[in-house]
Structure 1
Amino acid sequence: MQTSPRRRLATVGALAATSLMLCAGPAFAHVGVDPEEAEQGGYSVVNFKVPNERDDAATTKVEVSLPTDHPLSSVMPQPVPGWDVKITKSELDKPIEVHGEKITEAVTKVTWSGGKIKPGEFQQFPVSMGQLPEDADQFVFKALQTYDDKQVVRWIEEPKEGQPEPESPAPVLKLTPATGDAHGNGADSKDDDGKNAGDGAEKTSTDTGSAAAGSAEDGGSDSTARVLGAIGIVIGVAGVAFGVLAGRRRTP
């Protein structure tokens, strides 16, 4: 039996698609961060996603280096079952001030070891960090992934916008402008009309109380309507039953 041209074309297309997927697969098997964005000047929990890109070895150690040009005042890794975590701190060339406190050293590396990421699996390593820089649009980490056969994969190449992704890209956290007012307004602050912000807060509280009272009244009206509706349904059912019984009585 001869194979039809349509079937041969479908077979060739399937083989080509499979080959493309196999070739493209390794490009996505690198260390990354989740989420990929955070707000400038804020705090964020960053998950370092580490996939095992090999089928003949397991990952046994992960090292993530933090940028030293923008030191963070707070770095707290979340415990990961089966893994030991080590924090490395270094003296800063120039102390930084956070919330009125002078910081002379900062975390420069976090290392996880003792566990295993088996072939075909990945592991997330969450880290709470901040205060993220306000004068940068990205935060580039450098990661080292060690396998149980002593091979070390260095994810340290910084991706460049408009250029192809490097062979071993470093994890990058994009920083976006803050959307909220991080400082808030005090009771003595003034609005555009020169009035105290506290007056507006008091008015808001009063309006909220009025709205709550209105909601309570509406709730009472709704309850009454439900009761009356239920009574109407009961009366209707009783009427239907009475009609059925009356019809049966008139039937010879």
Structure 2
Amino acid sequence: MPPIDFLPASAKVVPGVRNRFRLTTVGVLTGLGVLALAAPAAAHVEVSADKTRAGSTNVTLTFHGEAENPSGIRSERVVLPAGIAPADVTLVKAPPGWSFQATADGFTVGGKALPSGTDAEWKVRIAKLPDGETRLSFKTLETYADGEVARWIEIQEQGAEEPEQPAPLITLKPGPAAAPAPSSAAPAAPSSAAAPAASSPQAAEVPATVQAESVAETDEGSSTWWIWVLVALVVAGGAGYLLVRRRAGQHPAE
């Protein structure tokens, strides 16, 4: 006996239409699931700069914190990256009723909780961006009126997938290359006084040698002069004696 079809004729669905209906339902559910997963990642803190070159001065940073808690944002605490001191940051703009306070590693802006669903936006001025840095991360703690703290502190690595709670990031262009400093080790010109100084030992030795030889010769001569005088006297005496003898022989005594 064939099965009984309890559906009225008007309610019967053609097989092809039924398949398309199923595919459409699956697609809608999938899209809703993707949106549900993406919604938390979209609600984070972002930052932008009016000057995007490393080493720039008087740079205004604009922060935007999205509200994901219905109780309202109460404060934003920012940790500065290396190269920026808290003393170099000043407030430009903040939500009405909020104040600025420097901390040991950054600053905090906050006050009365914002209305539910209201994003927080504030601006600060940086005296100077670090030289040589092209990626600056500003870790931010977003506090709500009910005490919940959203921690946007994960560093976004270049070329890597964005983390679940990324820290606000600005990407900078490299600063101008510094001109090479002139070398202080230039070769010194030879000094005219250096040459005599270098040869002074030899110059001093030559006169000393000559002087020593002269003194030696003088001493030797002065120590033998009396010998020659004695010889001369002996010779003269002998010659005189012979002369006297000779004269005496020519004139005998009478």
TM-score (norm 1): 0.56
Distance (whole Å) between structure 2 residues aligned to residue 41 and residue 72 of structure 1: 17
1:165 corresponds to which of 143, 162, 166: 162
In structure 2, which of residues 53, 57, 73 is the aligned counterpart of residue 59 of structure 1? 73
Partner of 1:87: 101
The one-letter amino acid paired with 1:47 is: T
Structure 2 CA distance for aligned equivalents of residues 73 and 113 of structure 1: 18
**Does residue 128 in structure 1 map to residue 142 in structure 2?**
no
* Alignment match, 1:177: 174
Q: Which runs of 5+ in 1 are unaligned?
A: 91-107, 182-252
Which sits farther off after the overlay, 39-48 or 114-123?
114-123
Contact 2:86–2:107, Cα closer than 8 Å, also in 1:
no
- Per the TM alignment, residue 40 of structure 1 is displaced from its structure 2 partner at its CA by 1.0
Cα distance between partner residues in 1 of 2:95 and 2:163: 32
In the TM superposition, what is the alpha-carbon distance from 1:70 to its structure 2 partner? Answer: 4.0
* 1:155 shift after superposition: 1.6
Structure 1 residue 72 displacement after superposition:
7.0
Using the alignment, how far apart are the partners of 1:172 and 1:23 within structure 2? 22
Q: Distance in 2 between matches of 1:37 and 1:156?
A: 23
Identity among equivalent pairs (%): 30
Larger Rg: 2
Counterpart code for 1:164: E
Give the distance between the partners of 1:49 and 1:81, measured in 2 at CA.
Answer: 11
1:127: how far off? 1.3
For residues 37-58 of structure 1, give each alpha carbon's deviation from its aligned partner in whole angstroms, at most 9, with x where no partner exists: 7111114221111111224x22
Q: Which residues in structure 2 correspond to 1:131-210 (within 5 Å)?
A: 131-178=128-175
| TM alignment of 1:1-252, pairs within 5 A | 1=11, 2=13, 4=17, 5-35=19-49, 38-42=52-56, 43-55=58-70, 57-71=71-85, 74-88=88-102, 108-178=105-175
Higher relative CO (Cα under 8 Å, sequence separation at least 6) belongs to: 1
Following superposition, the deviation at residue 36 of structure 1 comes to 9.2
The secondary structure found in structure 2 opposite 1:121 is coil
Cα distance, 1:166 vs. partner? 2.2
More strand, by proportion:
1
Alpha carbons 2:54, 2:173 under 8 Å: kept: yes
The Cα of 1:68 is off from its aligned counterpart by: 4.0
Q: CA deviation at 1:19?
A: 1.2
Partners of 2:115 and 2:164 in 1: CA distance? 22
TM-score by length of 2: 0.56
Cα offset, 1:171, TM superposition: 1.0
Q: Contact 2:140–2:152 (CA<8 Å) still a contact in 1?
A: yes
Quick check: 1:36–1:173 contact (8 Å CA) kept in 2?
no
Q: Deviations over 1:50-109 (max 9, x none)?
A: 111224x2211111121244437742222324232223165xxxxxxxxxxxxxxxxx42
Instruction: Indicate conservation of the 8 Å contact 2:69/2:144, yes or no.
Output: no
Q: Which runs of 5+ in 2 are unaligned?
A: 1-10, 178-254
Corresponding position of 1:228:
none
CA distance in 1, matches of 2:174, 2:82: 21
Contact 1:83 1:112 in 2 (8 A): no
- Give the whole-Å Cα distance in 1 for the aligned partners of 2:22 and 2:50: 43
Provide the aligned length of Structure 1 versus Structure 2. Answer: 163
Alpha-carbon RMSD across the aligned residues, in angstroms, is 2.8
User: 2:199 maps to what in 1?
Assistant: none
**CA distance in 1 between partners of 2:129 and 2:86 (Å):** 7
